[in-house]
Structure 1
């Protein structure tokens, strides 16, 4: 659990060595035969106490391609993800105003 300025309490949970279920190959590549690859990673679930907009928060799910994640890995990852969203929304705002 981490106390944040905008979201109050943020709680992150992580599950290591999970992999997405691949159902097909991506389009546009050359024909590849054989079994689909298994790509292990870490799934992170982030729950925040409240959102600045007042909307009821839903958990945010993230997938990181690293494995053997520790608490010192997970905290910067979700914080970086939230910072990325802040920057993305700022650019969207600038595009609308110009």
Structure 2
């Protein structure tokens, strides 16, 4: 098996996960990279007590998913520019009906 070459990053995603109903930060939500411009090993983060997370990523379009311990997940397509951090807000907790 061939593994992708490691990448270097001077930027990425700086985000927050909040409850869609209340806007309150969601602690301990898992945030995963589910698609991107290059194959990468599992990239994930867990939100802090204030709902924040950081993902170091190279330039490109990345699809991320936030999964709270209860309620529905949220997906977002994020474009990361070279040498910069992209701020995002994911709203979770709304279940599909």
Q: Give the TM bin, normalised by the shorter chain.
A: 0.3 to 0.5
Structure with more relative contact order (C-alpha pairs < 8 Å, separation 6 or more): 2
- Give 1 or 2 for the bigger CA radius of gyration: 1
TM-score by structure 2 length?
0.33
Bigger share in strand: 2
Instruction: Tell me the TM-score normalised to structure 1 length.
Output: 0.33
